[in-house]
A and B are shown apart, each in its own frame.
Chain A
Amino acid sequence: MAVAAIDGRPASLEAAVAAAARLLGASRLPVIAGLGTDIAGARAAIALAERLGGAVDHMNSAALLRDLDVARAGGMMVTTPNEARLRGDRLLLIGSALLTAWPELPARLLTPPAPHPDGAPLDRRIAWLSPGPAAPRFPAAADIEEIGCDAGDLPGVLAALRARVAGRSARRTSVADKMLDMLADELRGASFGVAVWSAAELDPLTLEMLAGLVNDLNAETRFTGLPLAPPDNAWGVLQACGWMTGFPMRTGFGRGYPEHDPWRFDATRLIESGEADGAIWISAYRPAAPQWKASTPVIALTGPQARFGRTPDVHIAVGCPGIDHDAIEYLPTTGTLAMVAGKTDVQTISVARALALIAAAIPGIGALAC
Chain B
Amino acid sequence: MLTCLKGGRVIDPAHDRNATGDVWFRDGRIVEAPTGGSSADETYDVAGMIVMAGAIDIHSHIAGSTENAGRLLLPEQHRASSASPANAVLSGARSSTFETGCRYAIMGFTTVVEPAVAPHQALQAHLELADVPIIDKATLAILGDDDFLLGLMRSKESAAAVRDYVAFTLDATRSLGIKVVNAGGAAAFKANVRRFSLDDVVPSYGVSSRAIVKALQHAVNELRVPHPLHVHCNNLGLAGNADTALATIAASEGLPLHLAHLQFYGYGREGERSFSSAAARLAEAVNATPEVTIDVGQVMFGQTVTISSDVLRQFNARNQARPKKWLIFDGDANGGGVVPYDYRRTDFYNAVQWAVGLELFLLIEDPARVFFTTDHPNGAPFTTYPDILALLMDRDLRAQWIATLPPAAIAVTTLPSIRREYTFAEIATMTRRAPARLLGLADRGHLGAGAIADIAVYSEHRDRAKMFAAAALVFKHGDLVVRNGEVTHYRWGRALAVRPDRDRAIDTRLKHYYDARYGLPHDIFSVPEGAIARDEPFELVPCAS
Interface residues of A in 32-89 (CB under 8 A from B): 39-40, 43, 47, 50-51, 68, 71-80, 82-83, 85-87
Residues of A within 8 A of B328 (CB): 75-78, 224
Write the nearest CB–CB distance from A61 to chain B, whole angstroms.
13
Does A191 reach chain B (CB closer than 8 Å)? Answer: yes
The answer to whether B73 and A244 have CB atoms under 8 Å apart is no
Complex: chain A residue closest to B83, CB-CB: A256
A43 pairs with B84, CB closer than 8 A: no
Does A248 lie at the interface of the complex (its beta carbon under 8 Å from any beta carbon of B)? yes
| B329 located at the interface, meaning its Cβ lies under 8 Å from any Cβ of chain A in the complex | yes
8 Å CB interface, B60-86 against A: 63, 65, 68, 71-75, 78-84, 86
Determine whether A337 belongs to the interface, using a CB cutoff of 8 Å to chain B.
yes
Q: Separation in Å of the B161 CB from the closest CB of chain A?
A: 15
Q: Which residues of B have CB within 8 Å of A369?
A: 89-90, 98, 133, 490
B190 contacts partner chain A, Cβ-Cβ < 8 Å:
yes
Given contacts A239-B65, A245-B90, A260-B75, contact A337 B517 (CB under 8 A): no
B518 proximity list for chain A (CB < 8 A): 82, 85-86
Given known A-B contacts A243-B97, A246-B94, A338 and B82 have beta carbons under 8 A apart? no
Contact A82 B332 (CB under 8 A): yes
Which residue of B has the minimal Cβ distance to A328?
B531
| A222-B190, A257-B82, A369-B90 known; A336 vs B325 contact (CB < 8 Å) | no
Q: Please give, as numbers and ranges, the residues of chain B lying within 8 Å of A113 by CB-CB distance.
A: 517, 519
Measured CA separation A87–B189 after assembly (Å): 13
Q: Is the CB of B330 within 8 A of A337?
A: no
Task: Tell whether A333 pairs with B329 under 8 Å between CB atoms, given A222-B190, A256-B84.
Answer: no
B93 located at the interface, meaning its Cβ lies under 8 Å from any Cβ of chain A in the complex = yes
Whether A245 contacts B96 by the Cβ 8 Å rule is yes
Answer whether residue B516 sits at the interface, using C-beta atoms and an 8 A cutoff: yes
Q: Are A78 and B330 in contact (CB under 8 A)?
A: yes
Q: Is B124 an interface residue (CB 8 A)?
A: yes
A118 on interface, CB distance cutoff 8 Å: yes
A108 closest partner in B (C-beta): B519
With beta carbons under 8 angstroms apart, the residue of B83, B326, B335 that contacts A257 is: B83
> Given A72-B73, A75-B325, A247-B75: A80 and B331 within 8 A (CB)?
yes
**Across-interface contacts of A192 in B (CB, < 8 A):** 190-191
The answer to whether A334 and B120 touch across the interface, beta carbons within 8 angstroms, is: yes
B131 engages A257 (CB within 8 Å): no
Residues of chain B within 8 A of A326, CB atoms compared: 530
In contact, A78 and B190 (Cβ under 8 angstroms): no
Contacts of A71 in B (CB 8 A): 72-73, 325, 327
Within 8 Å CB of A73, what residues of B? 325
Contacts of B332 in A (CB 8 A): 80, 82-83
User: Which residues of A (320-369) have their CB < 8 Å from a CB of B?
Assistant: 326, 328, 331, 333-334, 336-339, 369
Once bound together, how far apart are the Cα atoms of A191 and B188, in whole Å? 12
| A contacts with B: majority SS | mixed
> Which single residue of chain B is at the shortest CB-CB distance from A220?
B192
Q: Chain B residue with minimal CB distance to A43? A: B131
What's the count of A-B pairs with C-beta under 8 Å?
Answer: 174
Q: Is B533 an interface residue (CB 8 A)?
A: yes
Q: Once the chains are docked, how many angstroms separate the CA of A119 from the CA of B154?
A: 12
Contact with B along A256-269 (1 / 0, CB 8 A): 11111000000000
Q: Mark A86-122, 1 if CB is under 8 A from B, else 0.
A: 1100000000000000000000100001101111000
> Which of B120, B121, B324, B531 makes the CB contact (< 8 A) with A339?
B531
- Give the residues from 375 to 429 in chain B that come closer than 8 angstroms, CB to CB, to chain A: none
Q: B484 within 8 Å of A by Cβ?
A: no
Is the CB–CB distance between B155 and A246 below 8 Å? Answer: no
Is B301 in contact with chain A by the CB < 8 A criterion?
no
B325 adjacent to A243 (CB under 8 Å): no
Size range of the chain B interface in the assembly: 35 or more
Bound CA span A114–B518, Å: 9
Q: Are A259 and B80 in touch, CB under 8 angstroms?
A: yes
Instruction: Select from chain A the residue with minimum beta-carbon distance to B133.
Output: A369
- Provide the bound-state CA to CA distance between A258 and B95, in Å: 11
The answer, yes or no, to whether A171 is at the interface (CB within 8 Å) is no
> Are B75 and A72 in touch, CB under 8 angstroms?
yes
Q: Is there a chain B Cβ closer than 8 Å to A255's Cβ?
A: yes
Binds A, one of B230-238, B448-456, B463-471, B520-528: B520-528
> Which chain A residue has the least Cβ–Cβ distance from B64?
A243
Q: Knowing A74-B325, A75-B325, A244-B97 are in contact, say whether A338-B517 is a contact too (CB < 8 A).
A: no
**Contact: B524 with A338, CB < 8 Å?**
yes
A169 within 8 A of B: no
| Smallest Cβ-Cβ distance to A120: which chain B residue | B204
Q: Check A221–B80 contact: CB distance below 8 A.
A: no
B128 at the interface (CB under 8 A from A): yes
Given A78-B327, A257-B92, A369-B89; A72-B72 close (CB under 8 Å) = yes
The distance in angstroms between the C-alpha atoms of A148 and B525, with both chains bound, is 38
CB distance from A46 to the nearest CB of B (A): 8
> Given the complex of chains A and B, what is the CA–CA distance between A7 and B68 in angstroms?
40
Complex partner residue of A242 from B72, B89, B189, B321, CB under 8 angstroms? B72
Query: Smallest distance from the beta carbon of B413 to chain A beta carbons, Å?
Result: 33
Does B128 lie within 8 Å of A243, measured CB to CB? yes
B318 contacts the other chain (CB 8 A)? yes
User: Known contacts A222-B190, A246-B80; is A338 also within 8 Å of B329 by CB?
Assistant: no
Question: Does any Cβ of A come within 8 Å of B123's Cβ?
Answer: yes
- Contact residues, B137-177 vs A (CB, 8 A): 147, 151, 154-155
With contact pairs A75-B325, A244-B97, A336-B120 given, residues A257 and B84 touching in the complex (Cβ less than 8 Å): yes
Could you tell me the distance between the alpha carbons of A221 and B478 in the complex, rounded to whole angstroms?
Answer: 56
Q: Are B80 and A257 in contact (CB under 8 A)?
A: yes
Chain B residues with CB under 8 Å of A334's CB are: 120, 520, 524-525
CB distance from B141 to the nearest CB of A (A): 14
The answer, yes or no, to whether B127 is at the interface (CB within 8 Å) is: yes
* Per-residue contact bits, chain B 224-257, to A (CB 8 Å; 1 contact, 0 not): 0000000000000000000000000000000000
B83-114 interface bits toward A, Cβ cutoff 8 Å, 1 = contact, 0 = none: 11010011011111110000000000000000
Ordered by A's residue number, 25 sampled pairs between the chains whose C-beta atoms are within 8 Å are A51-B89, A72-B325, A75-B318, A76-B326, A78-B329, A79-B335, A80-B120, A80-B332, A82-B332, A83-B330, A116-B147, A118-B155, A222-B192, A239-B65, A239-B124, A243-B63, A244-B96, A244-B98, A244-B131, A246-B78, A247-B72, A256-B83, A328-B127, A334-B120, A336-B120
Top 5 A-B pairs, shortest CB-CB distance: A256-B83, A257-B80, A369-B89, A79-B330, A75-B326
